Amino acid sequence: MDLVTEALRELSRVHALEIVVTTIVVMISLIVLTPLLSEMARQDRGMEDVWIMDSGCSRHMTGHRKWFSGLNHVSTKEYITFGDNGQGKVMGVGSVSLSAKLSLREVAFVRNLGFNLVSVSQLLDEGFEVRFKKGACCVLDAEETLVCSLLPFGQVFRVDLTSVSGPARCLVASPSADIWKWHRRLGHLSFDLLVRLSSMGLIRGLPKLRAEKDLVCHPCRHGKMVAASHIPVSQVMTSYPGELLHMDTVGPARVASISGKWYVLVVVDDFSRFSWVFFMEFKDEAFGFVRDASAEVEKRES
For the four alpha carbons of 7, 13, 19 and 22, in that order, the dihedral sign comes to negative
182-219, pLDDT tens digit by residue? Answer: 888 888 888 888 888 888 877 777 888 877 777 778 88
Q: What is the pLDDT of residue 37?
A: 39
- The C-alpha atoms of residue 163 and residue 50 are separated, in whole angstroms, by 11
Q: Quick one: 151 and 184 in the same domain?
A: no
- The C-alpha atoms of residue 143 and residue 163 are separated, in whole angstroms, by 28
Instruction: Report the number of distinct structural domains present in the chain.
Output: 3
136-169, pLDDT tens digit by residue? Answer: 888 888 777 888 878 777 777 777 554 444 444 4
CATH number, domain containing residue 91: 2.40.70.10
- The C-alpha atoms of residue 18 and residue 24 are separated, in whole angstroms, by 10
Q: Quick one: 144 and 76 in the same domain?
A: yes
CATH number, domain containing residue 259: 3.30.420.10
Q: Which residues share a beta bridge with 116?
A: 51
Residue 269 has pLDDT above 50, yes or no: yes
Q: Quick one: 60 and 151 in the same domain?
A: yes
**What's the domain range around 151?**
47-160
Q: Quick one: 156 and 184 in the same domain?
A: no
Residue 290, φ and ψ in degrees, nearest 5 = -65, -40
pTM for the model stands at: 0.39
Helical residues (DSSP H) of 207-260, grouped into ranges: 218-223
